[in-house]
Structure 1
Amino acid sequence: MTERPAPDLHTVFLPALCWSRRQPDFYAVTQDLSRAGITFRSASEPALDEQLTCSIRYIGQVEARVVRTDDKLFVVRLMASRQRAAEIARTMLALGREQGRTFEAARVHPRINPTRKDVLVTLGDGSVLPGRLINVSASGAALALDHTLARGASITIGGTAAEVVRVFRDGIGAAFANPLDPAQVHAGIRL
């Protein structure tokens, strides 16, 4: 499996828990999606033609059959209706595109993991939501929120004005209206 990726090969990494009648729960991670099926990487090696149940993060539980095995890799084909298989493929492709974005290349400032994570987020209408800082840099922050915000929304994180530039499951990425002095960004930062 070291040949060059085919044009229909799409990289997507999602954690999964798989099991079968032959073996109890084992962990696996999706590696890619292609017309051949979904490739998983795992320390456990299911048998060729073995039927598995896999619970894949963001996808849900799927029934599949092992169609190829290799050293720490196995490929499965879904045992689902054409419509359900297409829905799963679309979701995995979208997640793969999101994972493939090169946010790191655009980052100018390093991110830190703050010790004080709890923060209040004030929306444009004045309402206040509790948030939890994931990381902070001089140019912005990532926050976990229980409320969905739209891209482009103006917010205030603590006392720092920002704009929502990225929305992900259970959170947002925000760019500060005025970047902070990099010397101010440390584990004990308070926004």
Structure 2
Amino acid sequence: MNSASLYNAPPEAPERQFSRVTISVQGRFMRADHSEYDCIVDTMSPFDAVISTAHRPEVGERIVAYLDYLGRIEGKVTETSHRSFTVSINATDRKRDKLSAQLTWLANKHELGLPEDRRHDRVAPSNPVSEIRLDDGRRYPCRIIDLSVSGAAVEIDVRPAFGTMVVLGNMRGRVVRHFQEGIAMEFMTIQPEEAIIKLS
């Protein structure tokens, strides 16, 4: 009988294969009435997320959230508590695979106690005009907001996906965060301090 019930499990059953991980990621979410509020994602899997906020939506309400490191997610609120709510994430298999990889990276960063990507002093370059190059040859003009030996914040009109390899000037790195004006990238290797000072 128990075996039969497993075969008749509903489509959402696969989410049980994914345990939530603790990530503590900040973001903003938009309710059905288009009002926006700050939030923190406490735990998350590729199928659902527990979000803390002072403005709790209603069960059954559809929300869209923009999260640091993870980008845009959307879904339906399945349960609420005093200071948080759970959202069932609506996504394609490809998006879930991507979320799984991003969550693994965030969870490892949390478990290992790795320092944040702003662990090095950042400077604003005297000549901020530069260019971002993608591996497929596309080039986009950009403006360097600030940079350090380990990464940079760049104002740019496009938003390459998280994990995308990009080249800023002659510094190669990957996209680790989106924000309103552009992207943050983490260099693949620590850059010589002299090179950063020369730009400042």
Normalising by the residue count of structure 2, what TM-score does the alignment of the two structures yield? 0.54
- Aligned residue for 1:8, secondary structure, equals coil
Deviation at 1:38, TM superposition (A): 1.5
* Equivalent residue, structure 2, for 1:52: 61
Letter in 2 for 1:93: S
Q: Match for residue 96 of structure 1?
A: 103
Greater share of residues in helix: 2
Alpha-carbon separation, structure 1, partners of 2:87 and 2:191: 49
Structure 2 counterpart of 1:8, from 10, 16, 19: 19
Query: For the pair shown, which has the larger CA radius of gyration, 1 or 2?
Result: 1
Task: Give the Cα separation in 1 of the matches to 2:83 and 2:22.
Answer: 17
**Mapping for residues 140-151 of structure 1, pairs under 5 Å:** 140-144=150-154, 145=156, 151=165
Alignment of 1:133-144 (within 5 A): 133-137=144-148, 139-144=149-154
Gaps of 5+ in 2: 1-17
Partner-residue secondary structure (3-state), 2:61: strand
Deviation at 1:164, TM superposition (A): 0.3
Distance 1:20 1:121 in 2: 38
Structure 2 partner of 1:31: 42
Tell me the percent identity. Answer: 12
Please report how far the alpha carbon of residue 87 of structure 1 lies from its aligned counterpart in structure 2 after TM superposition.
Answer: 4.9
What CA distance in whole angstroms lies between the structure 2 residues aligned with 1:36 and 1:176?
33
Distance 1:30 1:130 in 2: 33
CA distance in 1: counterparts of 2:194 and 2:173, whole angstroms: 20
Label 1:53 to 1:116 Cα distance change in 2 as closer, same or farther (>3 A).
farther
Tell me which of 29, 40, 53 is aligned to 1:42. Answer: 53
Gaps of 5+ in 1: 1-6
Which residue does 2:77 correspond to in 1? 65
